[in-house]
A and B are shown apart, each in its own frame.
Chain A
Amino acid sequence: MSLAKPAMRGLLGKRLRFHLPIAFALSLVAAAAFKYGVTEPRKQAYADFYKQYDTTKEFNNMRDAGVFESVRTTGE
């Protein structure tokens, strides 16, 4: 026969040496993508929102709309 003898040993080691670095790299990429795609923009959005937030104005608008149970609307 002219077939080469197949690999009999070290199969798991070979698989791990190939797949583990890829797995680590992809995990890091996924984490970085989530951080810079989701959490950082979200933190920025909250910061921008509260920079211009006028608490009293919003409270009065909500009171006039009648959504509070313990605060009456103005002019009652």
Chain B
Amino acid sequence: MLATRALSLVGERAISTSICVRGEHGVAKVDDYALPAYFDRRENPHPDVQFVTELSAVQKSLKEKEKGSWATLSNEEKIALYRISFKQSFAEMNEGTKEWKSVIAGMFFFIGMTGLVVLWQRKFVYGPVPPTFESEWKEKEVQRMLDMRINPVEGFSAKWDYENKEWKK
């Protein structure tokens, strides 16, 4: 009790950044990261603390003026009050970055690397292709498909001219 009263003479802010009395047993240091923090987020429009913590004399008098009628505040004073409470406006915090260029560059780079790996694989890893890929085999396959009349209405055999034994023009 006595300690907190003594500390209140030092200043409000000083209490939160220095020490905190726990019961009557001693003090526990409260680190900065454990205290309410200020951050600019679109989904949290009113952060837990205001941005400027140590107010200058001008700002202090402005805060006093804010307690009166707001009609007497000029536009610059309103902006100054805003900037005391907030670091970036919504327009500023929502700006896009140029990060997409790095992303696209990275994408192309890794796709290129993968292409090189694939080329190496084709040369040094894979064995020969089956005999069914040879031209003569393929010719016999096509002839058999035409004999069987595969897709004769709109598809494969529809493009073959059976009278003249050639592909339709």
Which chain B residues border A46 with CB–CB below 8 Å?
153-154
Judge whether A1 and B147 touch: CB under 8 Å.
Answer: no
Stretch of A7-15, A16-24, A60-68 that contacts chain B: A60-68
How extensive is the interface on chain A, given as a class? 10 to 19
Which chain B residues border A42 with CB–CB below 8 Å?
154
Q: Shortest beta-carbon distance, B126 to chain A, in Å? A: 34
Known: A1-B78, A62-B149, A67-B147. 6 other contacts (CB 8 A): A42-B154, A46-B153, A46-B154, A49-B152, A49-B158, A58-B149
Within 8 A of B (CB), among A32-76: 42, 45-46, 49, 58, 61-62, 65-67
- Give the A-B contact count at a CB cut-off of 8 A: 21
- 21 inter-chain pairs at a CB distance below 8 angstroms, sorted by A residue, are A1-B75, A1-B78, A42-B154, A45-B153, A45-B154, A46-B153, A46-B154, A49-B152, A49-B153, A49-B158, A58-B149, A61-B162, A62-B147, A62-B148, A62-B149, A65-B147, A65-B148, A66-B147, A67-B144, A67-B147, A67-B148
Within 8 A of A (CB), among B62-80: 75, 78
Chain B interface, DSSP helix/strand/loop, else mixed: loop
A42 to B158 CA separation, bound complex (whole angstroms): 13
A45 to B152 CA separation, bound complex (whole angstroms): 11
A61 to B162 CA separation, bound complex (whole angstroms): 10
Q: Shortest beta-carbon distance, A74 to chain B, in Å? A: 15
Most chain B CB atoms below 10 A, which of A42, A45, A66, A67: A67
Within 8 A of A (CB), among B122-147: 144, 147
A45 to B154 CA separation, bound complex (whole angstroms): 7
Which chain B residues border A1 with CB–CB below 8 Å?
75, 78
A58 to B153 CA separation, bound complex (whole angstroms): 13
Q: Which 5 A-B pairs have the closest CB atoms?
A: A65-B147, A49-B153, A67-B148, A67-B147, A45-B154
Chain A residue nearest in CB terms to B145? A67
A62 to B78 CA separation, bound complex (whole angstroms): 91
